[in-house]
Amino acid sequence: MFLMKRIAWCALAAASAFPLLPSAHAQRPVAFSAAGDDVFLALRDAARRDDAEKAAELASRLADYPLPSYVDYYRLKPRIKDAPTAEIREYLARYDGSAIADRLRNDWLLELGKARDWTTFDEQYPQFVLNDDTQLKCYALMSKALKGRQVAGDARVLLVSPKDYGEGCPALIATLVQGGQFDADDLWSQIRLAAESNYATLARRNIALTDAPEKLAAQAIDKPGLVLARGAGAGRTAHELFIIALGRVAKTNPEQAAGALVRELRQLTPQEQALGWSQIALQASLRLAPDAADYWRKADGAPLSAEGYQWRVRAALRAGDWKLVKSGIDAMPPALHSDPAWIYWLGRALKEQGKPEEAQQLFQSIASQTNFYGQLALEDLGRKITIPPQALPPTQEEIAPMATNQGFRDAFKFFDLNLRFEGVREWNWQLRKMTERQHLAAAEFARRSNVLDRMVNTSDRTSKEVDFTQRFPAPFSDIMHSATQPLGLDQAWVYGLIRQESRFVMTARSHVGASGLMQLMPATARFVARKIGMSGFSRNQVNDVNVNIMLGTNYLNMVLNDLEGSQAMATAAYNAGPGRPRAWRSTLTRTVEGAIFAESIPFPETRGYVKNVLSNATYYAALFEDRPQSLKARLGMVAPKGFVPTELP
């Protein structure tokens, strides 16, 4: 199995026109055996099911397997709650400095936090290298708080995304409330955040820390219409629950929520009124309601969630209210205010308000960034997008250590097993302490080994030593030309989409079942095959390069034609389905720039997808055509179907 996969990889490398590094595979570990690989995969599955007995039995059969740290990890992981501390420490010492040891420390720290074993937690937490687990950060603050240290400020910065809270963050909130570090404002802010993010269980858990009657609290979350019908009531608790109910109703009917708020305005303080409007405004913004900007104007001064701050600006962009855009960005907390997106849009607001010098300074501050907003800023400075000068290619002496790097060799083994998550983890772990030149060499090693996703992602890490042929590869050019030329389809756009969809991993499969380079869903593939008269199509053909590109380009061309040639809308349609961009466009009251349409897409995944694909496509076009390009021209303008503006936008 291993040998056949290697032969297949080599064939694909030839097809992609990238030369293989002669020594790269010769120095890779010898395969244990196909049977051993199967046992290892079964071991992984047993560990993921927490089947300790099965994991132990399978691990005992893998004494000489070439991934011993993972064999031992999967043997230990199902027993992490009950394993002797000495055994865990022994594993961490034996594999000290490895990616999987850091993963086990992460697992152990979660158990230590749940068990409130702060002595061991405090000893181990500083050794957790990645430190990328929000729940562990909450446990760390909880440990400090229980020792009498003031952590409320750090907690307010951390507690912004309920989807990452796990058990640790609600426990931290309770600890801070009980210890007097969080006041009522902090607690109700967390309750509103949980409710607006649709984490009802978390909202109920936090409400239990207040004096709210249990029945009224449950109604505010589960039957908010009853609360609105009854009115705001008296006292802060009743008012806060009324405000939460406003947001819950506004998820489906902002107008109903607004009517209920108007009826109760006299019962609420100015601050409570602003909070009520902010809850309605956020949900109206997510629905792309034309009156969302009006609601935000009434919410002036209300404390907002991170989503609230950003959607106030997005609603203002759709409405063309540059004054509200500027005030909305000015009010953002530092972490958001310094984001390239909001630096760019603040620059645009200043430009629209007749302050070109201030705008130019902001554009200049991000114009060197090779992302969507850096490209837009460059164009607002009067320049077009070009390919930066290429760094000196890495020498054979620089590339050679990459071929002998054990972590990279382990990553290749995982890729052969189709365990990309583990392979990527091992690969990225090796990059942490490398210089830019070493990143460039590692990317070149990945190119010559035909692991193009690692080439792209590794090369993306450099800021001075850049090579855009690594960042924007164009394999299968003959197949791509044959597929796009008859359709008149822009190859740069297709490559930009593939780079975002699969990073050129031909066996890529998404969590929803999309497959291949262009990540086609089975139903979509069947539909397109039928439409273009492809006979004998079967699902297992979707990962064939020729078939995948043929079906993917035809589908992309279909949605492009259906959406009047707008690449911005067609890109959104490829990701979210063709009906959604039409619905989003229908809520517009005027023609807007494609950048504003992209910025205000209500699905976070699709919003990022459209920006990345069109940014990619602009660089691909610059590479293919060897001349400056315009991202703004590619984005175009978007208007409601049949809309005829009375004046030029």
pLDDT per residue over 450-507, tens digit each?
Answer: 999 999 999 999 999 999 999 999 999 999 999 999 999 999 999 999 999 999 998 8
CA angle, corner 562, sides to 574 and 552, nearest 5?
Answer: 40
HSE value, Cβ hemisphere, 13 Å, CA-based, for 372 = 22
Has residue 169 got a pLDDT over 70? yes
Q: Is the pLDDT of residue 17 over 60?
A: no
pLDDT of residue 16 exceeding 70 = no
Tokens for 391, please give them: 């760094």
What are the structure tokens assigned to 621, written together? Answer: 């076009």
Can you list the alpha helix ranges (DSSP code H) found in 432-544? 436-448, 452-459, 468-471, 477-484, 491-501, 522-531
CATH architecture of 477-638: Orthogonal Bundle (1.10)
pLDDT at 18: 38
Q: Are 87 and 95 in contact (CB under 8 A)?
A: no
8 Å CB contact between 591 and 318: no
pLDDT tens, position by position, 445-465: 999 999 999 999 999 999 999
Q: Tell me which residue of 587, 599, 603, 597 sits closest to 643, measured CA to CA.
A: 587
Which pLDDT band holds residue 363 (cuts at 50, 70, 90)?
very high
Report yes or no on whether pTM surpasses 0.85.
yes
Which residue bears the tokens 């620059």? Answer: 347
- The residue whose two tokens read 């001075």 is 464
Res 547 pLDDT > 80: yes
Question: pLDDT tens digits for 536-545?
Answer: 888 888 889 9
Average pLDDT over residues 321-336: 97
SS3 state at 520: strand
Pairing of strands 592-593, 637-638: antiparallel
Give the confidence band of 643 by pLDDT, cuts at 50, 70, 90: low
User: For the chain, what are the domain ranges?
Assistant: 2-29+391-466, 34-127, 477-638
Write down the pLDDT at residue 32: 56
pLDDT tens, position by position, 71-122: 999 999 999 999 999 999 999 999 999 999 999 999 999 999 999 999 999 9
